[in-house]
């Protein structure tokens, strides 16, 4: 029996969600919350995939046709990860049994890249367990396959940042560049607790752009320019300016139809408590928002979000992408 364990970080999109789907740049940061996946080989050909958070197990074999729980099973939330297991096993020439356990500190369906972090950690752990060396790029691309099953046609930003870590500016058709800043980015994440699907939110934007192409395209370009300005402000250490751009991004993406009253409430509450900037993060429609804070306003912003009756957590940059634990 061989075994391996790997973990990968969650992310927050600082600027440019949705626009990134249309090949505009987006600024994304890995944060200090991780998904962990433990893998071991086992006798026979049964693969069991267990999620501690969902308390669910999916059972399948690496052979394409054998999905023992079936597409209609209550474990369908785990089924997208079959692609990851099958792809890595294929690269390693392995067809035996596996035990895979997922343990995650990342809330799911909240815009923090939980599914990508699981896919990334799983690819890495499986590769190591089955004796093949996968690059960060390969790991990211394998995880992109499960992302496609979950979200439809995602930009690939979530799997990329989870694999590499750090703070990067990303453009779908061009790749990514790390961003260095003398400023420390301190965030409070407010969780609305409203579940939503990324695929549905992306479809909503597509609908707006189709119905109002000139206005829709302008808004998307505008968000792209906003990302460029945010990168410049970060490089120059102008954190107040970054804050103002984040808030501006909230209202622009709001105009595309993907905010939610619960998000807007938290944005207003944060700004009222002195946050430098605040916006939804990820697909919107519920999920999470972020507030950019400094030491002076941090506690007040945290309390203001909690007073709205939801959870708030502090988050910092994680320079570490996927790693073996």
Binding ligand MEV (rule: CB under 6 A), the pick from 10, 20, 289, 291 is 20
Instruction: Kindly tell me which of 5 and 158 has the beta carbon lying closer to ligand MEV.
Output: 158
Q: How many CB atoms are closer than 10 A to CB 65?
A: 5
> What mask of x and - would describe binding to ligand MEV in positions 85 to 114, judged by CB under 6 A?
--------------------------x---
Nearest to 120 by CA among 156, 144, 96: 144
Q: Compose the 130-169 pattern: x for residues touching ligand MEV by CB under 6 A, - for all others.
A: ------------------------xx-xx-----------
- Considering the rule CB under 6 A, would residue 33 count as an interface residue with ligand MEV? no
Segment contacting ligand MEV (CB under 6 A): 17-25, 177-185, 210-218, 292-300?
17-25
Nearer to ligand MEV, 157 or 278 (CB): 157
In this structure, are residues 92 and 98 in contact, taking their beta carbons and an 8 Å threshold?
no
Of residues 94, 96, 90, 119, the one with CA closest to residue 42: 96
Minimum Å gap between C-beta 155 and ligand MEV is 3
Between residues 150 and 271, which has the closer beta carbon with respect to ligand MEV?
Answer: 150
Q: Which is nearer to ligand MEV, 163 or 198 (CB)?
A: 198
Tell me which residues in 283-302 interact with ligand MEV (CB under 6 A): 283
Give the CA diameter of the chain: 60
- Give the Cβ contact number of residue 308 at 10 Å: 15
Among 273, 255, 324, 315, residue whose Cα is nearest residue 6: 324
Q: Give the C-alpha distances (Å, rounded to integers) separating 221 from 26, 170, 201, 240.
A: 11, 15, 18, 23
245, 229 in Cβ contact below 8 A? yes
Contact mark string toward ligand MEV, 188..207, x via CB under 6 A = ----------x---x-----
Angle at Cα 308 formed by Cα 27 and Cα 243, nearest 5°?
A: 30
- Cα 78 to chain centroid distance, Å, stands at 17
- The residues of the shown chain that bind ligand MEV, judged by CB under 6 A, are 13, 17-18, 20-21, 111, 154-155, 157-158, 198, 202, 282-283
């Amino acid at each position: 029996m061989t075994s391996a364990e790997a973990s990968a970080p969650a992310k927050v999109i600082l600027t440019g969600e949705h626009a990134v789907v249309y090949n505009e740049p987006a600024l994304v940061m890995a944060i200090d919350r991780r998904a962990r996946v433990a893998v071991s080989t086992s006798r026979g050909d049964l693969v069991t995939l267990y999620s501690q958070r969902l308390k669910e197990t999916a059972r399948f074999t690496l052979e394409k046709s054998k999905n023992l729980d079936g597409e209609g099973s209550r474990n369908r939330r785990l089924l997208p990860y079959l692609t990851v297991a099958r792809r890595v096993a294929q690269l390693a020439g392995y067809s035996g049994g596996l035990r895979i356990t997922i343990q995650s500190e990342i809330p799911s369906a909240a815009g923090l890249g939980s599914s990508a972090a699981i896919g990334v950690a799983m690819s890495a752990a499986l590769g190591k367990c089955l004796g093949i060396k996968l690059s960060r790029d390969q790991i990211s691309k394998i995880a992109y396959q499960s992302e496609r099953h979950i979200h439809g046609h995602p930009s690939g930003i979530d799997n990329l940042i989870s694999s590499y870590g750090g703070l990067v500016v990303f453009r779908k058709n061009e790749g990514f560049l790390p961003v260095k800043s003398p400023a420390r980015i301190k965030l409070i994440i407010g969780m609305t607790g409203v579940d939503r699907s990324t695929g549905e939110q992306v479809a909503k934007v597509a609908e707006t752009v189709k119905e109002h192409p000139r206005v829709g395209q302008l808004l998307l370009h505008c968000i792209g320019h906003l990302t460029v300005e945010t990168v410049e402000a970060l490089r120059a250490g102008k954190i107040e300016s970054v804050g103002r751009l984040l808030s501006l991004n909230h209202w622009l993406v709001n105009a595309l139809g993907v905010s939610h009253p619960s998000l807007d409430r938290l944005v207003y509450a944060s700004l009222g408590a002195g946050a430098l900037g605040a916006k939804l993060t990820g697909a919107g429609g519920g999920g999470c928002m972020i507030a950019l804070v400094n030491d002076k306003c941090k506690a007040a912003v945290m309390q203001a979000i909690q007073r709205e009756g939801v959870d708030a957590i502090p988050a910092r940059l994680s320079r570490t992408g996927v790693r073996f634990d």
